[in-house]
Every structure is written in C-alpha cells, then in structure tokens.
Amino acid sequence: MARIGEGAPAPAGLVSPLDTQPVAQTKDVAQVQTQAGVPAQAAATATAEVRHLPQDQFQIQPFPLPGQGIVEGGCYPQPPYHPLPFPFPPQPLPFPLPEPQPLPLPHPFPFPPCPPPPAPRDASADAALKQLDQQPKPISGEAMAKAIKQGTEDLDGQAAGQEYKQFADWAAKNQANLSPEAKEVMKVYEKYAKQAQFNGQTGINTGDYDKMVKEMNTAGATDVSAKKAIDQLSKGDGKVSGEDMTRAIEQGTKDLDNSSAGREFKQFADWAAKNPDRLTPEAKQVLDIYKKYADAAKGQGASGIAPDQYQKMLGEMKEVKTYKDESAGKALDRLNHLQSPVSGQQMLGAIRNGTQDLDGQAAGKEMQDLIAWARDNASRLSPEAKQVVAIYMKYATQALVNGQTGINQGDYQQMLNEMRQALRPPVFRPLPGLDAPVAG
C-alpha cells in the first residue's frame, strides 16, 4: 500500500499542516524527508502537488507564527459574528417557578407595643385566699362563700376586676380541692362579676353585691347531690311513691361528705313540708325512717350517719313498697315525674313497659298496680289516657275470667294494636250524596 510521500497522491482534503507552510520552507521540508529516508524525487513531487491544489480545496490552516497576525493588545483576531439563519422557538420551563417573595423581617413591622405591666395584686383577696389554702380539703361551700365576702367587701371597686381575677385563677388551679358546693358558690360570683364587666364596671354595686352574698350563702349551704335528687322529685305533679322516695334519698345522701344527718336531711325534710299533698303514705313512712336515723346521729354530735347505720336505714326503707310489681312500679313512677295531663301515648308506653316482661302478671299484680295508680291520679289523665286504660282493663279482665294472671301473646299484641288504633286521629271521608264529610 502506498503511503503519502512515496509517490501516491494524498487524498483530497487530507493535507499535512507541514505542507501548508510558505514556499520558502519547501526546501527545508524536502531536506527533512530526505534525511528520513524518503527519496528526494518523491518529496519534490509531493511538494509540487500540495503547492498546486485547487483554490477551493479545503486546507487546514496553521496557527500563525509568533509576531504574525496579532492585533493591537496582544490578541488574535476573532472571526466575524454570523447569526443563525432561523430563530429558535421559546421553550417553556420544565416546571413552574415560585413567585418571588420578599424576605421575612426578623420582627413584625410595625413592632408590637410593649405589654402593660401586671396589675398589682389585691391584698384583701390574697389574704382570703391564703386562709382558703389552710382549710381542710375539699373546701366546703360555706368556706368559699365566706372567703369571697372577706376578699371583696372593701370599697376599692375591684370586686369584678382584680379581686375576681385572683379568685377565678385560684379556683381554676384548685378544682380538685373544691367541693361541689364550693363550685356552685364560684358560679354565683362569676355571674355577678361578668354582669358588672359587661356594664363596663370593675366593681359590683351595693344592691347586686348584697344579692350575690345571699345567693352564695344559700348555694354554700345547699348540698348539691341532695338538691339534684329533690329536683328530680319536683319535675312532675304526681304522687311520690315509697320506692321513688327511697331512691331519691339514697342518691342524695350516698356521697361521703358526712352530711346525711345534717343539711342533706334538712333539704329533704323542707321539701316534704312544702309538698305534703304529693306524698303517698309509703313516702311519708320512708321519710319517718330517715328522720329516726338522722336524729340518732345528731344526738351523738355527728352530722353524718355511720356507714353501718346508713345501710341498715336503706334496708328498712326498701321494705316499704307502694307497688306490688317492680317493673310496673318503675313505669308508673315515670308518669309521676310528668306534668299533667298524662297523654294517651304516655299511658300506652307505661302499660307496655310495665307489662311486657314474661312474669305472667299482666292480669295480676301489674293490673292491680295500674288500677290503684289510675284511681289516685284520675284527675291527671287525659281522655285518651283513660281510653287506653279501659282497653287494658278489658283484656286483663278477660284473662282473669279464663283463670289466668297473664295475657297470652296473641291477645297482648291485639291489645296494643287496639290502643294504637284508638289514639289515631279520625279520618274524614266524603260519602256520595252528602255534603259534609263523615268520620270513619
């Protein structure tokens, strides 16, 4: 294979940079090729071919020699700028960039005003609270009412301001140490203080202050558990049974505040004195049992009934019964807690709840309880309720005639359906040839 410089022409476009030197250097190139072992004739031929290449033939131009083609400043000349023949279309960003946000300032602007200095504490309120801290726990309602009066009775006009704030903060931190009565006292104080603040005052005027002190004393001396039980008795206007009175006394005195012979007994006795017409003979008997044990405890200088005596008292009370059947009695007691008149739906519900158990007494003890209750509360029954009672008596009497104390399931369901039908409003249907509608 022929090599460049050995007689074979060089390919077009492939010319050694050494061959592009000026003609003055051709002699030196030939001399170097001869020394390398290339014949002088071949070297001269290659040089001639390079010198006579066409003008449009691409040749690699050498870097200029030092001192040639250098412009002022010592830089090589730059090629002219040729813009692209076509513009590139704008390309969208690969993802939306966030909107620029201003840098956060180290502090909000404008700077917030300095907080006001804390108000000076009220000395009288602090003294009263210090005494409360020394009271036995839980703190009673009487002690709470006394402390509030001592801490707010001065004339500095802060009963609804700084003094109230100190008592409210103290109460919030000592909730576990407050009796239910003490919490009720704080509610009374809060009511009057908030009202004064609403009126733009930091003090409570004399008239309202006297009313507040009276209400606090009443709340402090009122046992909360006994009050809840008595409120339950006061809901309706029916007769209070022996069972209902026993439940109320147990719920109102079973807490361990050691007041069952003191204020709790007084609250029940006061309520009974105000409502004698609502007490059944059995309820009065239960109250007599309570009085006996409370008087015995007070005779020994105690305000509470000893645990063993308390359980004995409850046992005696539960022996006093107004009703013969327990389920019927509970259903009828719920009617006693309703305001008159008793509706037909309420009467139907009481009969269903009191007789739907499977003890076989729907025409026996349960019927006896219902007849006795309806007789004692006849003035409280609406016409619909009396109609429901009459339907019940019809089915119960039929069962007794058949020698049964219970109503069989078929007759029982038929009885309930008849009661529901009786309570439905009449439907008026126009008849042919008549102008007025006829009920049917």
Residue 100, pLDDT score: 79
**pTM of the full structure:** 0.64
**DSSP assignment of 238-297, as one string?**
SPBPHHHHHHHHHHHH-SSSS-TTTHHHHHHHHHHHH-GGGB-HHHHHHHHHHHHHHHHH
Q: Are 252 and 264 in contact (CB under 8 A)?
A: yes
Q: Are 385 and 341 in contact (CB under 8 A)?
A: yes
Residues 138-186 pLDDT 10s: 999 999 999 999 999 998 999 999 999 999 999 999 999 999 999 999 9
Cβ neighbours of residue 76 closer than 8 Å, sequence gap 6 or more: 64, 69, 70
Number of Cβ within 10 Å of residue 195's Cβ equals 14
pLDDT average, residue stretch 94-119: 72
Dihedral angle sign, alpha carbons of residues 201, 204, 205, 211: positive
pLDDT of 22 strictly over 50: no
Residue indicated by tokens 């003609």 = 23
Q: In the chain, count of helices (H) and strands (E)?
A: 17, 2
Q: Return d(Cα 243, Cα 289) in angstroms, integer.
A: 13
Residue 438, pLDDT score: 54
pLDDT of 329 strictly over 70: yes
Q: Are 406 and 367 in contact (CB under 8 A)?
A: no
pLDDT of 262 strictly over 90: yes
Q: Return d(Cα 169, Cα 247) in angstroms, integer.
A: 38
Residue 103, pLDDT score: 75
Number of Cβ within 10 Å of residue 227's Cβ equals 18
Q: Give the confidence band of 29 by pLDDT, cuts at 50, 70, 90.
A: very low
Cβ neighbours of residue 198 closer than 8 Å, sequence gap 6 or more: none
Which of 62, 58, 44, 64 lies closest to 14 in space, CA to CA?
58
Q: Are 137 and 177 in contact (CB under 8 A)?
A: yes
Which of 366, 365, 352 lies closest to 412 in space, CA to CA?
352
Residue 218, pLDDT score: 93
Residue 429, both tokens:
């249907």
Which of 49, 43, 44 lies closest to 11 in space, CA to CA?
49
Q: How many Cα neighbours within 13 Å face the side chain of 129?
A: 19
Domain ranges of the chain: 1-51, 125-221, 226-318, 326-423
**Phi–psi pair at 401, nearest 5 degrees:** -60, -35
Cβ neighbours of residue 132 closer than 8 Å, sequence gap 6 or more: 139, 143, 144, 147, 170
Query: Cis omega before residue 98 (within 30°)?
Result: no
Relative orientation angle of helices 141-152 and 162-173, to the nearest 10 degrees: 150
Q: Return d(Cα 120, Cα 162) in angstroms, integer.
A: 8
Residue at 348: amino acid letter: L
Which of 302, 320, 225, 315 lies closest to 267 in space, CA to CA?
225
Residue 405, both tokens:
């104390």
Q: Give the confidence band of 426 by pLDDT, cuts at 50, 70, 90.
A: confident
Q: Give the confidence band of 106 by pLDDT, cuts at 50, 70, 90.
A: low
Give me the chain's average pLDDT, please. 83
Residue at 300: amino acid letter: Q
Residue 30, pLDDT score: 43
Residue 46, pLDDT score: 46
